[in-house]
Amino acid sequence: MRNLLLQLDSSRHPSVFDQVVALDGGADQVMSYGGVTPEDVRDLVHGCIFTRGAKDLKHTAVWIGGNNMSQGEQLLAMALDAMFEPLTVSVMLDSNGSNTTAVAAVVKIEQALGDLKGRKVLVLAGTGPVGQRAAGLLARDGARVTITSRKPEQGEKARQFITARFNVSVEAVTMSDPSKAAEVLDGVEVLLNAGSAGIQMVSRAAWTAQKSLKVAVDLNAVPPLGLEGIEVNDAGAQRDGVLCFGAFGVGNFKTKLHKRCVGRLFEKNDLVLDAEAIADIARELVTEKQ
Ligand SMILES: NC(=O)c1ccc[n+]([C@@H]2O[C@H](COP(=O)([O-])OP(=O)(O)OC[C@H]3O[C@@H](n4cnc5c(N)ncnc54)[C@H](OP(=O)(O)O)[C@@H]3O)[C@@H](O)[C@H]2O)c1
């Protein structure tokens, strides 16, 4: 039986990236819908669950993407609401690659440091979809996480969202511009840049001066890179005594993870793959490699 992936994308054009990786990851066909709103979801999902018998439903799954994470979360809630036992299909949420990217970065950090309990972590621009997910997962690992934002109210809103979504405690500080980086880096052991593409967040002088720093990860692949001096292909490079990962150093693992998750969707008919479950799959991938 063919594996069918229903792609529900909140953006006008359903993501081509997601379509390609879905086909590479185990879908035989991707049924793509763009500009999907919460009101559209019920009927689209019913098209999945009423067509094949319950025992064959693992061959159909739902993928939720799009540029906007909060819209993606609404689509996920509606998709789950539209299903009932035994007529369920597996679902994954990865709006703009936020879950797979955040998880890939977090797992690289876990691999580098082992136990993160009590570690001081700074997530730069932790207000975006990737930063919020990463901050939540790192806090779940027991790290003492602080996110930055240029605006106090934005930082506080994201802090509250992360706290509620992951049931953890995180701090928010304002970093109005890169000249303030040295202050917020004080005592930080892990630095994760989740700032927008093409924005330099921290100068090389600022992060290399921080003697407590052990791991630095930059998720921005678009020049100028987010952490000056870290190369986009860095995958554990030692620079000034700091283990460094660039966007492609994390992105290669992210793509592997993305494919593995798609494959997993077709193994059962009741999986819900959001940040935590995706992190578990990423840790399995790491263990297999060892
Ligand atoms: N490697 C991969 O596979 C992969 C996949 C997906 C995404 N990414 C990258 O991961 C990073 C985070 O993605 P995202 O979608 O979460 O990012 P985003 O939503 O575009 O931006 C994250 C935060 O960056 C801050 N920001 C925006 N413009 C800025 C500016 N001009 N100066 C300073 N800060 C600015 C904003 O925070 P405040 O307004 O609160 O300051 C924003 O909330 C991006 O660099 C993206 O390209 C990588």
Element (H, E) at 237: strand 235-239
Taking residues 252-276, what's their average pLDDT? 97
Walk me through the domains of the chain, giving residue ranges and CATH numbers: 4-97+253-289 (3.40.50.10280), 98-250 (3.40.50.720)
Closest CA relative to residue 111, chosen from 141, 70, 79, 82: 141
Among 15, 98, 130, 258, say which to mutate for ligand 1: greatest number of ligand atoms within 8 Å of CB: 130
% the chain with pLDDT above 70: 100
In the structure, which protein residues have their CB atom closer than 6 angstroms to any atom of ligand 1?
Answer: 96-97, 101, 125, 127-131, 149-151, 154, 194-197, 199, 219-221, 247, 250-251, 254
Q: List, for residues 46-83, the tens digit of each pLDDT value.
A: 999 999 988 999 999 999 999 999 999 999 999 999 99
pTM (whole model) above 0.85:
yes
Q: How many CA atoms lie within 13 A of 210 on its CB side?
A: 25
**Assigned token pair, 182:** 């040295």
Residue 290 banded pLDDT, cuts 50, 70, 90? confident
CA of 108 to the centre of ligand 1 (A): 19
Taking residues 120-147, what's their average pLDDT? 97
Q: Which atom of ligand 1 is nearest to the CA of 250?
A: 1
CA distance 8 to 158: 25
Q: List, for residues 100-114, the tens digit of each pLDDT value.
A: 999 999 999 999 999
Closest CA relative to residue 202, chosen from 221, 229, 241: 229
Among 123, 133, 148, 196, say which to mutate for ligand 1: greatest number of ligand atoms within 8 Å of CB: 196
